[in-house]
């Protein structure tokens, strides 16, 4: 899976995209509220690890996510 962080503007919050190995969009959610989105794609049990990745992720860089 791949993850990318998109920087929001003034009133628009930061968003996160999670994509599979073929770059198909699996999830698109606000960076400050990942719980429900992660549960829907089966990563609810790895929520803490994904939150840690989100915090350290630079804007606009696609990164391979190894969980």
Alpha carbons 49 and 10: distance in angstroms, whole number? 28
pLDDT band at 35 (very low <50, low <70, confident <90, very high): very high
Report yes or no: 4 and 61 within 8 Å, Cβ to Cβ. Answer: yes
> What's the pTM?
0.87
The DSSP output letter for 12 is: S
Model confidence at 9: pLDDT above 80: yes
Alpha carbons 50 and 22: distance in angstroms, whole number? 20
Alpha carbons 67 and 46: distance in angstroms, whole number? 8
- Indicate the average pLDDT of the chain: 93
Alpha carbons 12 and 46: distance in angstroms, whole number? 26
**Domain region containing 21:** 2-64
Number of structural domains the chain divides into? 1
Task: Provide mean pLDDT across the span 1-14.
Answer: 94
């Amino acid at each position: 899976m791949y993850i990318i962080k998109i920087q929001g503007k003034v009133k628009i919050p930061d968003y996160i995209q999670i994509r599979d190995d073929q770059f198909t969009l699996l999830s698109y959610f606000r960076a400050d509220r990942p719980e429900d989105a992660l549960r829907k794609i089966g990563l609810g049990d790895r929520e803490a690890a994904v939150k840690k990745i989100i915090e350290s992720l630079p804007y606009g860089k696609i990164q391979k996510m190894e969980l």
